[in-house]
């Protein structure tokens, strides 16, 4: 009896330590975002200090982060919607009509390193005047969102019972309407999972912005990176900016925990 | 009328837009890259691309930076994957028991994966900062000598590996937890009858049954590890002294710092082939494993 209670306490402590290790960098980021430069630089103020909100003021007033938030939001939202618009019907078509080559193309598009097409895009986008344009950024981000959404949705549509669809067709309902009014509502969990992750991938994307964006369409990850290339780093403001970028993603992840976990491991368990 | 027409050609109406998009944005650029790898060009509007045959490839194989990048990529990927697989499976086994707060645990473990990689990288930059960082502070408390971390040629890759292990161990753990939940109960019941210890059950039943799941998780991680860009670029840009210049960073530098688009394209072709062969090898291992069970 006593050993089992001891084992249980040890188990709880071990769990708590593991959780703390995963949380620590986030806590550190949050703590530093409320410190002045002097407090960041001195070990005397490691955990105890009087918090300042100046960093957050600087991020929004001095560094104009509202503009970067807007850019990131527009690009992430529109590219996710575009990916859904193209991806949902295509995933349905591939699932219903068994098109293995199309499915393979999608898989390859999902696996290739982004930088492989970044070089040709840079050349072609330059010719088409798409560098530093919302259109160009949205197209680029759709290349991540579209294959991912299709990858998650194809197995979903494959599981939809054929008999239900066929009886709906016999009742005189068009195939398009059957898809929109019967298949899509039932597939909502998959749609939520894949679009939330497509949104997060776009929100977080750094490499495409680094090459394809400019002053007009700069997104948050690039903005915070540029912050650092100043000669001396203003750590407090940098961490405040990092908190601003990370917060929305963390809120989404916490509200939709179940969906995110299943999306991140999509295809892994089933194979 | 139009609905009728769409219904008759649903297969194509539904799939072609997406496929055309992929051809335009992915397939065509790939072919373009392949072609460009036989040319020399610096994006100048005045001088057109010049055909050089296999020269870009030959030059790459003679370039020490290429071999260095290959070594860096291999080092970073292999050590990271071994560590996060061991830790991930361990944590999964630990957390697969039912206890209060499973939801909290899963939420916390998800955060490193979904948080913006650049901001994560910058937090670690602060933690690793030699004079003010938390890492050296801990070392001082423990009485160790302080370290250079990302600033040292020998420590930079281990420091980057630690970031990746922190960020992605949860990925392996969450997939394995999901895998454990689907395991059949019969083997455990008969093992209980035979009086097996929980360690024996873990080694002889749980781990063998989980092998295909673990291999899939490892495959997905290796593909992403080979492509690591954000974390490395935001912390070191490939430095110090090229010690963390992976293949991905080298391509970026060749293309967008040196504007050697031909060499960059040749390297991309090699990179692409490398990733494809890794995937083929790992999927065939997985198939063989599944056949055995």
Q: What is the CATH number of the domain that holds B273?
A: 1.10.3720.10
Q: Quick check: A176 and B7 CB within 8 A?
A: yes
For residue B184, being part of any structural domain is answered with yes
Q: Quick check: A23 and B123 CB within 8 A?
A: no
ipTM score of complex: 0.90
| Residue B117 contacts residue B262 (beta carbons within 8 Å) | no
Q: pLDDT exceeding 70 applies to what percent of chain B?
A: 98
Which phi and psi (to 5°) does residue A136 adopt?
-65, -45
pLDDT at B49: 85
Q: Quick check: A115 and B29 CB within 8 A?
A: no
**Residues B207-220: what's their mean pLDDT?**
89
| Residue B112 contacts residue A260 (beta carbons within 8 Å) | no
Between CA A231 and CA A244 the distance in angstroms is: 22
DSSP 8-state class, residue A214: -
Residues of A in contact with B107 (CB under 8 A): 253-254, 257
For residue B19, being part of any structural domain is answered with no
pLDDT winner (highest mean) among A48-52, B79-83, B148-152, B194-198 = B79-83
pLDDT bin (cut points 50, 70, 90) of residue A205 is very high
CA A223 to chain centre: 17
Q: Quick check: A111 and B275 CB within 8 A?
A: yes
Write the residue in A87, A121, A204 that is nearest to B117 by C-beta: A204
pLDDT over threshold 60, residue A268: no
Q: Which residue of A has its CA nearest to B90?
A: A18
CB atoms within 10 A of CB A30: 17
Report chain A's mean pLDDT, rounded to a whole number.
87
pLDDT at A269: 45
Mutation site, A47, A143, A145, A269, interface B, largest B CB count within 10 A: A269
Q: How close is the nearest chain A Cα to the Cα of B202, in Å?
A: 17
Q: Quick check: B252 and A11 CB within 8 A?
A: no
Domains of chain A in start order, with CATH, are: 2-264 (1.10.3720.10)
DSSP 8-state class, residue B258: S
Residues of B in contact with A49 (CB under 8 A): none
SS (H, E, C) B43-84: CCCCCCCEECCCHHHHHHHHCHHHHHHHHHHHHHHHHHHHHH
Tell me which residue range forms the domain holding B261.
Answer: 64-292
Between CA A210 and CA A233 the distance in angstroms is: 20
For residue B11, being part of any structural domain is answered with no
Query: Tens of pLDDT along A12-66?
Result: 888 888 889 999 999 999 999 998 888 888 777 777 788 888 889 888 888 889 9
For residue B109, being part of any structural domain is answered with yes
pLDDT winner (highest mean) among A95-99, A231-235, B154-158 = B154-158
**Residues B125-151: what's their mean pLDDT?**
89
Write the residue in B26, B217, B251 that is nearest to A268 by C-beta: B217
| Residue A156 contacts residue A197 (beta carbons within 8 Å) | no
pLDDT over threshold 90, residue A74: yes
pLDDT at B167: 95
User: Which is higher by pLDDT, B83 or B278?
Assistant: B83
DSSP structure string for A120-180: HHHHHHHHTT-TT-HHHHHHHHHHHHHHHHHHHHHHHHHHS-HHHHHHHHHTT--HHHHII
Which phi and psi (to 5°) does residue B40 adopt?
-115, 125
Query: Tens of pLDDT along A134-155?
Result: 999 999 999 999 999 998 898 8
Between CA B177 and CA B174 the distance in angstroms is: 5
For residue B37, being part of any structural domain is answered with no
pLDDT bin (cut points 50, 70, 90) of residue A79 is very high
User: Which is higher by pLDDT, B64 or B188?
Assistant: B64
User: Which is higher by pLDDT, A261 or A28?
Assistant: A28
Q: How close is the nearest chain B Cα to the Cα of A266, in Å?
A: 9
Between CA B181 and CA B192 the distance in angstroms is: 19
Say how many domains are in chain B: 1
Q: Quick check: A261 and B91 CB within 8 A?
A: no
């Amino acid at each position: 009896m006593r050993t089992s209670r001891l084992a249980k306490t040890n188990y709880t402590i071990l769990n708590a330590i593991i959780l703390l290790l995963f949380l620590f960098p986030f806590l550190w980021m949050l703590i530093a975002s409320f410190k002045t430069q002097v407090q960041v630089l001195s070990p005397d103020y490691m955990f105890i200090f009087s918090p300042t909100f100046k960093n957050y003021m600087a991020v929004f007033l001095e560094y104009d982060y509202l503009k970067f938030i807007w850019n990131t939001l527009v690009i992430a939202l529109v590219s996710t919607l575009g990916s859904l618009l193209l991806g949902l019907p295509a995933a349905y078509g591939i699932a219903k009509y068994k098109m293995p080559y199309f499915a393979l193309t999608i898989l390859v598009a999902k696996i290739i390193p982004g930088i492989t097409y970044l070089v040709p895009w840079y050349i072609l986008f330059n010719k088409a005047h798409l560098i530093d344009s919302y259109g160009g950024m949205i197209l680029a981000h759709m290349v991540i969102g579209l294959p991912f959404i299709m990858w998650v949705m194809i197995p979903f549509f494959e599981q939809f019972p054929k008999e239900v669809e066929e009886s709906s067709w016999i009742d005189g309902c068009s195939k398009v309407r059957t898809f929109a009014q019967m298949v899509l509502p039932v597939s909502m969990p998959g749609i939520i999972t894949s679009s939330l992750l497509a949104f997060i991938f776009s929100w977080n994307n750094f490499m495409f912005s680094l090459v394809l964006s400019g002053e007009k369409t700069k997104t948050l990850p690039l903005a915070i990176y540029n912050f650092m290339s100043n000669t001396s780093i203003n750590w407090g403001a940098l961490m405040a900016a990092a908190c601003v970028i990370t917060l929305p993603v963390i809120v989404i992840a916490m509200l939709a925990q179940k969906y995110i976990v299943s999306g991140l491991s999509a295809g892994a368990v089933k194979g | 009328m139009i609905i009728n027409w769409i219904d008759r050609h649903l297969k194509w109406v539904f799939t072609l837009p997406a496929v055309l998009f992929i051809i335009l944005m992915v397939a065509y650029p790939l072919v373009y890259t392949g072609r460009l790898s036989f040319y020399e060009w610096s994006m100048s509007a005045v001088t057109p691309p010049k055909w050089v045959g296999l020269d870009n490839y030959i030059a790459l194989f003679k370039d020490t930076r290429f071999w260095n990048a290959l070594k860096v990529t291999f080092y970073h990927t292999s050590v990271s994957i071994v560590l996060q697989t061991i830790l991930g499976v361990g944590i999964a086994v630990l957390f697969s028991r039912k206890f209060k707060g499973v939801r909290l645990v899963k939420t916390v473990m998800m955060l490193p994966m979904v948080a913006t990689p650049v901001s994560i990288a910058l937090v670690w930059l602060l933690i690793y900062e030699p004079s003010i960082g938390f890492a050296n502070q801990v070392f001082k408390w423990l009485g160790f000598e302080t370290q250079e971390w990302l600033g040292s040629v020998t420590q930079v890759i281990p420091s980057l590996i630690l970031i990746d292990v922190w960020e992605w161990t949860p990925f392996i753990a969450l997939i394995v937890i999901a895998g454990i939940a689907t395991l059949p109960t019969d083997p455990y019941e008969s093992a209980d009858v035979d009086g097996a210890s929980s360690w024996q059950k873990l080694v002889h039943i749980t781990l063998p049954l989980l092998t295909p799941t673990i291999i899939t998780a490892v495959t997905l991680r290796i593909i992403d590890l080979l492509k690591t860009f954000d974390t490395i670029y935001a912390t070191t840009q490939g430095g110090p002294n090229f010690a963390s210049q992976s293949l991905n960073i080298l391509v970026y530098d060749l293309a967008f710092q040196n504007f050697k688009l031909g060499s960059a394209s040749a390297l991309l072709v090699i990179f692409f082939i490398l990733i494809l062969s890794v995937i083929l090898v790992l999927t065939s291992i997985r198939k063989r494993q599944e056949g055995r069970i």
